[in-house]
Amino acid sequence: MTIVTRFAPSPTGLLHVGNVRAALHNWLLAKRHGGRFLLRIDDTDAERSREEYVDAIRADLAWLGITPDGEERQSARFAIYEEAFARLADAGRVYPCWETPQELDLKRKVLLGRGLPPVYDRAALDIPELERMRRIASGDAPHWRFLLDRETPITWDDGIRGPQRFDPAMMSDPVVRRADNSWLYMLPSVIDDIAMGVTDVLRGEDHVSNTATQVQMFQALGAPLPRFAHEALLTGAEGKLSKRLGSLGIAHFREIGIEPAALRALLARLGTSDPVDASLDAEGLAAAFDLAHFGRAPARFDEAELERVNASVVHALPFDAVADRLPSGMDEAAWVTVRPNLTHVHEVADWWRVVTGPVAPPQVSEEDRAYLTRAAELLPDTWGDDPWHALTGALKAETGRKGKVLFLPLRQALTGLDHGPDMAALLPLIGQERAAERLRAAG
């Protein structure tokens, strides 16, 4: 059987880091088994759905390198929902209700006050059939609930959480359709999963109770159950996921210079026992993706760790992959020299300014000024294939300096900084003329 997974965002906002992780894991699960990954836009909420969010979802997935094998939109599938709803109505598995939100809230409070679970009492089922028909014909539109089978325990073997068991007698019949005939999430999702041939539903553990209800919907529609797996939700570095972190969109990561490969590498392993490996491409991540490696503990998302992973990715980027993002005039040799000092590619501009100048002369002691003046005098005679080692070797022999006092004044005069790329690679990029000017200016 071909594995089919899906990612089903609602276009009522931008994708955040938790959404992206769910999309990535479903993509990797399908990819590992040679299956199909589908994008379904859950846009039944016409009032809140926006076309710009649909475009943003597609763009964010494309930036991450996640390519769906197909796309569906719920707003184009209402006829399918009507047909399935009619079948459920004929079978007595959906029924009309007229309680107001205030009446339902009062019922819940009474039950809770008695120490009982706030389960809907099914009072609407006591309305005679003729009365129901009369109310509907008169324009008194009902909302509709799915009738749970309360006699049979709901069970499934979860791909991450293991065997699951729910008592339907402790669950309320869920509302599946509003009085204005619009759909809630639960039933259309099941109908679509059946029609789209979804075999594996991988989502957050906040959907576990939804799954318990949807198991019976699959059964009522005569469809086999997909395999369900519910992964732990994300937390921040300090435990609870902050509102800011929970709402971080892909645009944020792009703006701060995160590489898509870095975000993929980190999110692919969050919640598993596997170490984050920045060297793995999409194929490598998919080959190692295994639900058996997921644990029940909260998955910790740490922006500092993302920065470290990003640095590892940047340090391995070849020149061809970044050439169009580099300052004008920067060649492959310069990129290779500067690359180990970067966390983000955009930082290369700062280092290129160190090469091209101008560089502010450092404040130095009288002794170091004489030392740098002498370095400027020796530079022409030591310039060759390896000018840095030739220059420092000549200065060491002449002055007796070694270690920090030999190297640091030269680095400060040549770059204006106390640290940075290997000077043996950086000095040829600066060039003999500029280097001599900087040494003389500092001296």
* DSSP assignments along 350-406, one per residue: HHHHHHHS--PPPP--HHHHHHHHHHHHHHHHH-SSSHHHHHHHHHHHHH---THHH
Q: Rounded CA gap, 257 and 259, in Å?
A: 6
The residues, ordered by sequence, that sit 6+ positions from 197 with a Cβ below 8 Å of its Cβ are 4
| Distance from C-alpha of 77 to C-alpha of 8, rounded to nearest angstrom | 14
Task: Give bridge partners of residue 94 from the DSSP assignment.
Answer: 146
At residue 62, φ and ψ (nearest 5 deg) are -65, -40
Burial of 258 (0-12, 13-18, 19+ CB in 10 A): buried
Amino acid at 18: G
Is residue 147 helix, strand or coil? coil
With b meaning 16 or more CB within 10 Å and e meaning fewer, what string describes 315-329? Answer: eebeeeebeeebeee
Give the C-alpha separation, 58 to 15, whole Å: 10
Cα 277 to Cα 283: distance, rounded to the nearest angstrom: 13
The packing angle between helices 387-399 and 404-415, to 10°, is: 130
Strands annotated E in 131-262:
143-146, 154-158, 162-166, 175-177, 200-204, 227-231, 234-235
Q: Which residues contact 409 (CB under 8 A, 6 or more apart)?
A: 362, 364, 368, 371, 372, 442
Give helix 423-430 / helix 404-415 axis angle, nearest 10°: 30
Give residues with Cβ within 8 angstroms of 2, minimum separation 6.
Answer: 34, 35, 36, 199
Cβ distance 175 to 148 under 8 Å?
no
CB 30 within 8 A of CB 37: yes
Tokens of 96: 């009309």
| 404 annotated among ligand-binding-site residues | no
Handedness of CA 405, 410, 415, 419 (dihedral sign): negative
Give the C-alpha separation, 288 to 78, whole Å. Answer: 39
The 3-state DSSP class for residue 435 equals: helix
Q: Could you tell me which residues are annotated as the binding site for ATP? A: 243
Feature table: binding site? 243
